[in-house]
Structure 1
Amino acid sequence: MEKGLRTGVKFKTRQLTVIGMLSAISIILGVTGLGFIPIPPVKATILHVPVIIGAILEGPVVGAMVGLIFGIFSMVQAITTPTPVSFIFMNPLVAVVPRVLIALTAYYTYRIVRTNVKSLNIAVAAAVGSLTNTIGVLGMIYAIYLEPYAKVLHLSVSGAKKGIIAVGATNGIPEAILSVIITAAVITAVSKIRRR
């Protein structure tokens, strides 16, 4: 077993491998643009799916580590490839905290929801994890950056409020559906491999 630096958290080699692999997948999806799937009229992201998969397969700490790396990657992207709203994602409260929370909500939902259909348990956990990302990020933007967000997009504050809610609805639902499909497929496949 390897010991986490200064945390006292011990990781098995398999867990470290999972953290590295899923973090790499999330980063590759972001860098290449493959993590954004066009579902007209929106582009749904699946960058958070590796966090959900890590949490369900290996527990909340592993999932949270993948979420932390995903969040840091978001901050780095905001700095290196800026857009008019990149300043928002330079704040760890927006870029990192919701991504860590994805792991916690997905894992504990999976532990609490106990039906006889494993794929249903996975689906509910994946949907909750995905919605945590959507609500967490947009909620932080609303709470911290509403006025600057409105100003940079040349909107009124009320227009920005409506815009954030609209993005939550139009992106949040397709992203949750994609998360459910991908997570259920991957975890089912991994479970079969592990049983061999």
Structure 2
Amino acid sequence: MFKENLQVRKITIIGMLGAISVVLGMTPLGFIPVGTVNATIMHIPVIIGGILEGPIAGMLVGLIFGIFSLIRSITTPTPVSFVFWNPLVSIVPRILIGLVAYYVYTTAKKIIKNETLSVAISAILGTLTNTVGVLSMIYILYGTKFVEKLGLDPSSAGKVIFGIGVTNGIPEMIVSALIVTGVVKGLKLTKR
């Protein structure tokens, strides 16, 4: 009976976080336009899922994030949306967020022995997984074409993509650390 309740709870949390991802993906809340690219907070439910319910839950919520990233690139195109039509850019890095968040959290908790700091580090590295994963795939698969579509010199692809990573990634990591830490602490308190 206890195991069944645990499964129901896990499925419910995945569904809830997935629904939050859907809402973020269907509204301007999830993607914040920064020029012709978007910053995002859609990785936050993925990180929370990974920390609270384990790697499979985090990966499933990440899959939902990735699918909505793909859908958004088709339904509300920008000059650089074509890169997100490739699942290696739009889906795979998002699945990895939940996996990284879980393992960083469990490892940090053992080493640091501080719940809040472990959650914050997990949120930062989960966010970094998204930023580095997506931008690395863009650089490897579409670097010069991507930068060309931005109206910039294609020979500066590495610098431009790195600049996007710094410009979007740092604020995303800070916001993620603050929100994820608060939400996880709050949910763990209600769980007791």
**Structure 1 pair 49–80 and aligned structure 2 pair: CA distance change class (3 A):** same
Q: Distance in 2 between matches of 1:58 and 1:170?
A: 31
Q: Percent identity?
A: 54
> What is the identity, as a one-letter code, of the residue corresponding to 2:23?
I
Does residue 31 (structure 1) correspond to residue 59 (structure 2)? The answer is no
Does residue 88 (structure 1) correspond to residue 83 (structure 2)? The answer is yes
Which residue in 2 is equivalent to 1:7?
Answer: none
Query: Helix, strand or coil for the counterpart of 1:112?
Result: helix
Question: Where does structure 1 differ by over 6 angstroms across 4 or more consecutive aligned residues?
Answer: none
Consecutive unaligned residues in structure 1, runs of 5 or more:
2-10
Deviations 1:131-171 (A, max 9, x none): 00000000000000112212322322233321111111111
Which residue in 2 is equivalent to 1:141?
Answer: 138
Which residue in 2 is equivalent to 1:182?
Answer: 179
Does residue 122 (structure 1) correspond to residue 119 (structure 2)? The answer is yes
Q: Distance in 2 between matches of 1:79 and 1:45?
A: 17
- Count of equivalent residues: 184
**Structure 1 pair 147–70 and aligned structure 2 pair: CA distance change class (3 A):** same
Consecutive unaligned residues in structure 2, runs of 5 or more:
none
TM-score for the superposition, normalised by structure 2: 0.89
In terms of mean alpha carbon deviation, does 48-57 or 79-88 score higher? 79-88
Q: Distance in 2 between matches of 1:137 and 1:125?
A: 18
Q: Is the 8 A contact 2:144 2:155 kept in 1?
A: no
> What is the identity, as a one-letter code, of the residue corresponding to 2:169?
G
Q: Distance in 2 between matches of 1:93 and 1:43?
A: 18
Task: Report deviation, 1:36.
Answer: 4.4
Q: Is the 8 A contact 2:70 2:87 kept in 1?
A: yes
Residues 43-54 of structure 1 correspond to what in structure 2 (within 5 A)? 44-54=39-49
Which residue in 2 is equivalent to 1:102?
Answer: 97
Question: Which of 7, 10, 13 lines up with 1:15 in the alignment?
Answer: 10
> What is the identity, as a one-letter code, of the residue corresponding to 1:177?
I
> What is the identity, as a one-letter code, of the residue corresponding to 1:83?
T
As a proportion of its length, which structure holds more helix? 2
Query: Helix, strand or coil for the counterpart of 1:84?
Result: coil
Does residue 164 (structure 1) correspond to residue 131 (structure 2)? The answer is no
Task: Report deviation, 1:47.
Answer: 0.8
TM-score for the superposition, normalised by structure 1: 0.87
Q: Distance in 1 between matches of 2:18 and 2:148?
A: 34
